Amino acid sequence: MAQSRQPQKSRQPNGASTIYLGKDGRWHGRVTVGVKDDGSPDRRHVSRKTRAEVTKVVRELEKKRDSTGVAKAGQTWTVKTWLTHWVENIAAPSVSENTIDGYRVAVYHHLIPGLGAHRLEKLEPEHLERFYRKMQANGSAAGTAHQAHRTIRTALNEAVRRQHLTSNPASIAKAPKVEEEEVEPYTVEEVQRLLAEAGKHRNTARWVIALALGLRQGEVLGMQWEDVDFELGVIRVRRGRLRPRYKHGCVSCGASGDR
* Predicted pLDDT at 4: 46
- Cα separations in angstroms, 67 against 43, 152, 223, 250: 17, 24, 51, 48
Per-residue pLDDT tens digits for 80-128 = 999 999 999 999 999 988 889 999 999 999 999 999 999 999 999 999 9
pLDDT greater than 70 at residue 255: no
Per-residue pLDDT tens digits for 153-163 = 999 999 999 88
* Predicted pLDDT at 198: 81
Per-residue pLDDT tens digits for 199-233 = 888 778 877 888 878 777 778 777 788 888 888 88
pLDDT greater than 70 at residue 173: yes
Query: On the CB side of 165, how many CA atoms lie within 13 Å of its CA?
Result: 24
CA distance 148 to 154: 10
Of 193 and 241, the structure prediction assigns the larger pLDDT to 193
Burial 143-161 (b: 16+ CB within 10 A, else e): ebbbbbbebbbbbbebbbe
Contact 79, 112 (CB under 8 A): yes
Q: In three state form, how does the secondary structure of 19-34 look?
A: EEECCCCCEEEEEEEE
CA distance 86 to 82: 6
Is the alpha carbon torsion for 230, 231, 237, 238 positive or negative? negative
Residue 195 identity? L
* Predicted pLDDT at 66: 84
* Predicted pLDDT at 109: 96
pLDDT greater than 90 at residue 182: no
CA distance 107 to 100: 10
pLDDT greater than 60 at residue 258: no
Q: What is the CATH topology of the domain spanning 79-172?
A: DNA polymerase; domain 1 (1.10.150)
Count of other CB atoms within 10 angstroms of residue 33: 20
- Per domain, the residue ranges of the chain are 18-66, 79-172, 183-259
Q: Does the global pTM surpass 0.85?
A: no
* Predicted pLDDT at 12: 57
Per-residue pLDDT tens digits for 134-154 = 999 999 999 999 999 999 999
| Sequence-ordered list of residues with C-beta below 8 angstroms from that of 81, at least 6 positions apart, any chain | 75
Contact 207, 189 (CB under 8 A): no
Q: Measured between alpha carbons, how far apart are the two ends of the chain, in Å?
A: 88
